Structure 1
Amino acid sequence: MTQNNPPLTTTNLVLGIDTGGTYTDGVLLEYETRRVLATHKSLTTKRDFSIGIEQVIDGIRIDDPSAIKMVSISTTLATNAIAEGKGKRVALFLLGYDPDLVSAFKMEHRFATPHFYYFAGGHDLYGQEKEPLDLPAILQKTSEIQNQVDAIAVSGYFSPLNPEHENRAREAISRICSLPVVLGHQLSTRLGSIERATTAALNASLLAVLQDFVIAVRRAMERRNIIAPLMVVRGDGTLMSDEFAALSPVETIHSGPAASAMGGRFLSGLDDMLVVDVGGTTTDLALVQNGQVTVSEEGATVGSYKTAVKAANLLSIALGGDSHITLNRENELVIGPERVTPLAYLAHEYPYVNAQLRSLSKRSWMNTGQDWLEYWFLLRQPQNDSLLKTNRQKQLVALLQDGPKPLPDILRQLNVFHASQLEAGELFRQEILARAGLTPTDLIHVEGGYTPWDVDAANFALQTFSRVCRSTPDDIRQQVWRLVTETVIRAIVSFLTNKPLPRTPPGQAESLGDWFFTNSLYDLHPQLETRFRLRYPIVGIGAPAEFFLREAARLLHTDLILPEHYQVANAVGAVAGSVMVTEEILVYPRLSGEGLDVVGYYVQASDERLEFEEAEYALAYARTLGKDRALGAAIRSGADNPQVTVEEILDGLDTYRIRAKAMGNPRLAK
């Protein structure tokens, strides 16, 4: 899907690419005017993101590659790798951590790796050594596990206040093995020991993953003669060079939703808004205030892992254009959370599916079940037989060589009673097989709102599903859109209030919160009127946004804004951000031997620690050091003429955090 505007006579073009859960979007902009020249959408290939990226670059049809002065990418690669357990194997060395305390509070599962080991060492709240570092034990464990893992992460207790033990451990490990070593204090100056250890382990697990991704993108650029800086979107919407991203891949957590928020702000021209990005798989919410995406200071959470990484404050729900519409065990209509291929698209690719759905729509409800609307199909050929580990998997792949089949046919031909007997889970995860089913995208085809694929097939599928539900197609459409609207509004209220708004379980008395929610939407009470009113407009992002958000905006008594090119705003956001680097320096007291008197102050940077007699001199040095380091790092990360601001934060009794931020526009190729 490509859109091209008349070309401009210019030499400064930038290419933005977003790899989402369903689509990879690309946009070509003229940098000075920020005019969108061309856009393209391609299906995301999760098994190899670079395939979808190359298809987008080809689809945009760049006439003069030398005019591209920057390429910037937002990616869900890190988030997906963590959520799906596809990161590399990591050993986590914990220096000075109390194993009994960690066990008592059941925090072991938060370390993001099962291979964690405790060693003597670490420091206290004032940067003093708790106990000597046990280097012999560290070296022995390294020798034991170096062939069983791909990287080592080291996190010392209170290492932001004194990283000496982490640094010594890295030096010792590097002398006897060649594995990459990640240090916790280099990723976060926050004192939360569990979050810092988790962040170090996740970063180590993602090193090879993101480095391979960057190499693949670079090769795609080289094959098309694009010689330009490559930038990657951070989780807070700012940009960093590909070299920085390869060293700190954990900072790309939530990169995609952050780019969407930046794109919404850029295209709408508004400073205050609620950005709602409706994709094929998820709907993401982000708040923009005073022109900036709000950032969570508590650290981003991915799956069950809480990190120390600053990222956009957002909420993601499993609702999108390709969410599967089904009946649950209680015969209630549900949407998602699973994402499937729309039947309209499947029939467009395989015309015989249209005939099958037509025949299915004429059956009586007694001879029809919703399983007949679930098709399985071969997405790609297995690269080698080792991916097919059981005879059942081999039989299934062989059966689907002829094309998509409805699930009941598959069960019958393979002589099994239930889908679980097909042992297909890993084949879906590896994107060898895929599912198709009824989705909101199919309903949009039926309604004529978006019709690139087989409208008749979508109609036949809806007729069949309505017969299964003993209802009419119109009633089913109304139920689906009502459920979509309620789900979106419930998510918005929960996100903005930071309070859960769960539905009352069946059989229980309706809670006051649930009553207020329902009455605010449908005005049911004869005496009491309640309502929600959103003070900011909703800026819709993503192709299905108009259909998912129109009624939600009306019920929230606010405006829905769909700016030009809102369908690819996430790719616009990939090039709309600024380069920003933050450097934090800690200043804290040095105590007397008895620990009773303050006899000086430490200035602790990531790789140096200095002593001063007076707080005034320590703070002055920290400000200068932070400013210089932030400026240098921003320039190395690709900023053009960055400006630096310095903030002094009281971080406890006689303890200060000096935060220097350097920000500038990305530097373009000459």
Structure 2
Amino acid sequence: MAILLGVDTGGTFTDAVVYDEAAQEILGKAKALTTHQDLGAGVAAAVDAALAAADVAPGAVALISISTTLATNALVEGHGDPAALVLIGFQEADLARAGLKAALGTDPSIIVAGGHRSDGAEAAALDVAGLRSAVGAAAGGVTGFAVAGVFAVRNPEHEARAREIIAAETGLPVTCSHELSARLGGPRRALTTLLNARLVGMIHRLIEGTEARLAERGIRAPVMVVKGDGALMSAAVARARPIETILSGPAASLVGAAHLTGRARAVVADIGGTTTDIAVLEGGRPRLAPEGARVGGWLTMVEAVAMRTHGLGGDSEVTIAPDGLVAELALGPRRAAPISLYAMERPAAHEVLDRQLARTRAETHDGVFVMPGARRAGLDTLEGRAADIIGEVGVGAAVESLSLDSRGRLALRRLIGAGYLRRAAFTPTDAAHVLGLHGEWDGEAAAKAATLLARQKGNDGEKLAADGPALARRVVDALARRSAELALEAALGEDGFEAEGMAKRPLAAAALDGRRGFAAPALALNAPLIGLGASAPVYYPMVARIAGAEAVIPEDADVANAVGAVVGRVEAKAEALILSPDGDRFEVMAGGAPVQMETLAEAKALAETRAREEALKRAEAAGAETPEVRVAWDEKRASVEARETLVEARVTAVASGRPRF
């Protein structure tokens, strides 16, 4: 028996599964609240509970595999360690391309002479003296360096030499662009490299903290990390290439969906506390974004799943839409702690809710609380009242008790936006408690909050709902309807349509509402809808009915991400390129200086050998056990003066295998 441990750190929960590799069976699973101040603590709590459920000793664990939202969240929120960008052979004007200047912010950039031409030949000598001088001046204010050279994917010699110099001069980690992507497009490759350099320390701290917490429990197994395309890589590779963990969590959920359901073609929707992630499976594999992962407004060159993420989840705050005469519900995108969870942890909340219910007049902040957030350090004076407000909140407080003036309300909003404070308010999770669809936390508090929200009035003076249960039903129905719209828009987008907002258009809305007149419009998914997430059994049967699809909700839908983390395969890719400048000679570019070959057959043989060797080397470094290699060729030809000529031939080798343990 080989015991593997899968872990997923999400925005609300950290999940863990104990998996028997030989039997391909889940022996135990558990959830723990994610501890944002110390992610290792939440991981340890989930692992402890999962091992206890499986009745497995910690020392029996042979492998740990983690999926994480850390890199994605860091880029979305603009966090990361300071890094210097070294550009070889670029011009100052290139900083204006691909968002490089905006991404740099206050971090330094260094431009030195060097670089190569498109055929791999040296365009100018590398300015070693200038590089040493500039690197020494920048080293004191950064934690790492990113190096990108012109046409480095055709010849990486200058990047490799620059890395040697920087490492010797500073001792800091260095990321080279040719190791992250084989694609042309220097500024975007430089952007990807810069973002990677900023994440190195963050991923290192996550892995080191997790390893330390698990070692305390007697778990000293190798650690793997899920990449954004769903494949696995060793902790060592993840430390060097953390940018590849973008969309790690969503990718793991797709791998888990395929494993748990056996479906090869499906639309997959994963509902969490904060967001709903939607993607498709084709041929049993996640479909990848053709241009690269777009995260936090940056278009990177990282291969990742084609995932659509929406601010709709079980913890989306329920509010009244600000526009319109009649009171309408709005769900998210702001996240709030469910009142049922807040009151379970702070029973004194009932006194506040009862006092508010005893009033005859509804107030805007009824049923709304604030509590400390994850962020602690670096507080600036936001609006004068910031420090006072944090002091008043303590472990938690009703918003009405803060007695805020307009300046204080502005400070409160900014404190919440900056992560110093969090809101607790009515959410779809609370609505599910009121309707008896969910019962883990304090349902009585949820019912009180539902009554308070139901009596809020629109501009027409009418209440939002007749009572608390009616309000809860409206919330659940609204979430199901919106989820169906998002699933259909994702499917339409995969089919090549401009789908954003399409499901809200009158004809589509009539189809989803089932309206029948002289015409009977119809709109439906042409694939099963796999629902994932702890609340998937609550919502996705309704979502599938609206979307006209078969609902597939696996038994372990609540831990699909952790399952995907542990059942995935290690996969590494390498490419080699053949160019024919004059049609009579051939240049092979495969990770070093170009090699001249006399015939195309010789060039192809060398290119394939180099690509295979490099893919195997990368797969083994990433932790693969006896990887297998598959090869694909792509040739581009042109007709010049009635003579067919090879423009380029590219070979891609992919080595994959299960991880070593």
Same fold, TM-score > 0.5, yes or no: yes
Matches of residues 385-534 of structure 1 in structure 2 within 5 Å?
387=379, 392-401=385-394, 403-412=395-404, 418-422=408-412, 425=415, 429-430=418-419, 432-469=420-457, 470=463, 471-473=465-467, 474-498=469-493, 499-503=497-501, 514-524=505-515, 526-534=517-525
Contact 1:639 1:663 in 2 (8 A): yes
Q: Is 2:345 aligned against 1:360?
A: no
Aligned-partner SS, 1:201: helix
User: Which one-letter code corresponds to 2:343 in the other structure?
Assistant: A
Which of 333, 336, 339 is equivalent to 1:340?
A: 336
Q: Is 2:578 aligned against 1:587?
A: yes
Aligned-partner SS, 1:53: helix
CA deviations on 1:485-510 (whole Å, 9 max, x unpaired) are 3322332233222245455xxxxxxx
CA deviations on 1:553-584 (whole Å, 9 max, x unpaired) are 11221111111111111111111111111111
Offset of 1:436 from its aligned partner?
0.3
Offset of 1:280 from its aligned partner?
0.5
Which of 26, 36, 41 is equivalent to 2:31?
A: 41
Aligned-partner SS, 1:280: coil
Greater shift in the superposed pair: 512-521 or 367-376: 512-521
Offset of 1:198 from its aligned partner?
1.2
Contact 2:485 2:503 in 1 (8 A): no
CA deviations on 1:586-639 (whole Å, 9 max, x unpaired) are 2223x4xxxxx3553222223454222222211101111221222232223222
Which of 358, 368, 371 is equivalent to 2:365?
A: 371
Matches of residues 271-310 of structure 1 in structure 2 within 5 Å?
271-310=264-303
Q: CA separation of 1:397/1:418 partners in 2, compared to 1, >3 Å: closer, same or farther? A: closer
User: Which one-letter code corresponds to 2:68 in the other structure?
Assistant: T
Contact 2:366 2:453 in 1 (8 A): no
Matches of residues 58-457 of structure 1 in structure 2 within 5 Å?
58-60=48-50, 61=52, 63-100=56-93, 103=96, 108-109=101-102, 114-330=107-323, 332-364=328-360, 367-378=361-372, 387=379, 392-401=385-394, 403-412=395-404, 418-422=408-412, 425=415, 429-430=418-419, 432-457=420-445
Contact 2:488 2:524 in 1 (8 A): no
Q: TM-score, normalised by structure 2?
A: 0.91
Q: CA separation of 1:501/1:479 partners in 2, compared to 1, >3 Å: closer, same or farther? A: farther
Offset of 1:381 from its aligned partner?
10
What are the ranges of 5 or more consecutive residues in structure 1 without an aligned counterpart? 1-10, 504-510, 592-596
Aligned-partner SS, 2:365: helix
Q: CA separation of 1:621/1:314 partners in 2, compared to 1, >3 Å: closer, same or farther? A: same
Matches of residues 558-569 of structure 1 in structure 2 within 5 Å?
558-569=549-560
Query: How far apart, in 1, do the equivalents of 2:227 and 2:337 lie?
Result: 30
Offset of 1:34 from its aligned partner?
1.7
Contact 2:369 2:425 in 1 (8 A): yes
Q: TM-score, normalised by structure 1?
A: 0.89
CA deviations on 1:418-465 (whole Å, 9 max, x unpaired) are 42134752x7645x5321000000000000011111111111111111
Offset of 1:123 from its aligned partner?
2.6
Query: How far apart, in 1, do the equivalents of 2:287 and 2:193 lie?
Result: 24
Contact 2:291 2:301 in 1 (8 A): yes
Q: CA separation of 1:423/1:534 partners in 2, compared to 1, >3 Å: closer, same or farther? A: closer
Percent of aligned pairs with the same amino acid: 32
Query: How far apart, in 2, do the equivalents of 1:199 and 1:101 lie?
Result: 15
Query: How far apart, in 2, do the equivalents of 1:112 and 1:151 lie?
Result: 15
Offset of 1:644 from its aligned partner?
0.8
Which of 535, 552, 566 is equivalent to 1:544?
A: 535
Q: CA separation of 1:381/1:560 partners in 2, compared to 1, >3 Å: closer, same or farther? A: closer
Offset of 1:483 from its aligned partner?
2.8
Contact 1:153 1:181 in 2 (8 A): yes
Query: How far apart, in 2, do the equivalents of 1:602 and 1:83 lie?
Result: 41
Greater shift in the superposed pair: 74-83 or 623-632: 623-632
Contact 2:3 2:20 in 1 (8 A): yes
Aligned-partner SS, 1:334: strand
What are the ranges of 5 or more consecutive residues in structure 2 without an aligned counterpart? 458-462, 638-645
Aligned to 2:460: none
Offset of 1:112 from its aligned partner?
7.7
Query: How far apart, in 1, do the equivalents of 2:183 and 2:374 lie?
Result: 45
Aligned-partner SS, 1:70: strand
Q: CA separation of 1:152/1:377 partners in 2, compared to 1, >3 Å: closer, same or farther? A: same
CA deviations on 1:385-420 (whole Å, 9 max, x unpaired) are x6576773332233223x4222121134xx665421
Q: CA separation of 1:117/1:661 partners in 2, compared to 1, >3 Å: closer, same or farther? A: same
Contact 1:111 1:197 in 2 (8 A): no
CA deviations on 1:38-75 (whole Å, 9 max, x unpaired) are 11111112232211101112222364223211111101
Aligned length: 636
User: Which one-letter code corresponds to 2:96 in the other structure?
Assistant: S
